[in-house]
Amino acid sequence: MKLMGLILVAFLASLEAQSCPANLVPMPVTVTVRERSVQEPVRGLTAQDFLLRGKTVVSVASGLPADIVILIEDRGRGGLLAGAADLLVKSLLPEDQVAVVTYGVSTKKQLAFTRDPNAIRLAIEKGADGTHLQIARPLYGVVDAYKLFGKASPARQRAIFMIGDNIDSGSQIRIEQLAANLIEERISLDLAIDPAPSRKIPRLNVPPPTVGNDSPAMRPALVGQQSVSLLAEASGGTSDAYVRAEFFSEMRERLKQRVTLTYCVEKKHASKVPQVELSDAAKQKWPNAELRSPGVPGR
């Protein structure tokens, strides 16, 4: 069954590649379209329902397999992660790949990309076992998570599922640049806001150590408080305060409902994501529909 799935994915990718002229390459952009009144996904969308500025949509797909990095702040959470891991594994598609990264003062890759459900479950459950107070820098964690991804493909989605603090007070990374990197790499960030760290674990602004002969005055200034929720929304993802162990599995279900558009573009412009809009015909069919796309936070 898995072999048949691989053959189907390869065939679809090949079909999409053949839809572009020889001088252009197929690139994906994933969007969310839902009925505003009931917050349910709009179904039955086709290429004619979308407008891409200066581009032509050649295919529309949903429910694609995904490369997912689970990013977890390194602190103890009792049995919560065991339940979250089990529910996530049950919601995965057969061709999904999952990696696991933990972050605190630094980041650590707990698991490389794999389809092994037992390895995924164990890495999530046991990966974050921190028991001491520490500085948490979510943006550094996001950077190391997105470095694990390979090249973007129209046949697969790419996402970071994160549990941790909503505020980063110690990173020198600018959120605007990090958002641009996620968008260019076609990676969405979905954040489950952990309410405990901001109340129970002190957050400290610690200047970075001096490197080489650099004097402290030459080091870049800390950026200050930055919202990880804003980063998630800018990437086309979501941000919610979790209250149950279903948060990872709910992220996967939302990813299945998103729509991936494939379009043709010159290779030198492939990193730039075009603006996506609903066509006039789509607006007439679904007058209460709203569209969220990378680079356009929720409205």
- 143 pLDDT higher than 90: yes
- Confidence at residue 17, expressed as pLDDT on a 0 to 100 scale: 42
pLDDT at 199: 38
Mean pLDDT of the chain: 83
pLDDT at 210 over 80: no
Confidence of residue 209 (pLDDT cuts 50, 70, 90): very low
CATH code of 66-211+220-255, in short, is 3.40.50.410
Residue 188: per-residue pLDDT: 97
pLDDT for 56 equals: 86
The predicted-structure confidence for 62-108, as pLDDT tens digits, reads as follows 999 999 999 998 877 778 899 999 999 999 999 999 999 999 878 89
Q: What is the pLDDT of residue 136?
A: 78
Quick: pLDDT tens for 246-266. 999 999 999 999 999 999 999
pLDDT in tens, 22-49: 889 999 999 999 998 888 999 999 999 9
Q: In the structure, what pLDDT confidence band is assigned to residue 200 with cuts at 50, 70 and 90?
A: very low
Q: Which pLDDT does position 77 carry in this prediction?
A: 76
**Domain extents for the chain?**
22-63+258-292, 66-211+220-255
Of the two residues 229 and 133, the one the predictor is more confident about is 229
Q: What is the SS3 string spanning the chain?
A: CHHHHHHHHHHHHHHHHHCCCCCCEEEEEEEEEEECCCCEECCCCCHHHEEECCECEEEEEECCCEEEEEEEECCCCCCHHHHHHHHHHHHCCCCCEEEEEEECCCEEEEEEEECCHHHHHHHHHHHCCCCCCCCCCHHHHHHHHHCCCCCCCCCCEEEEEEEECCEECCCCCCHHHHHHHHHHCCCEEEEEECHHHHHHCCCCCCCCCCCCCCCHHHCCCCCCCEEHHHHHHHCCCCEEECCCCCHHHHHHHHHHHCEEEEEEECHHHCCCCCCEEECHHHHHHCCCEEEEECCECCC
Instruction: Tell me the pTM.
Output: 0.84
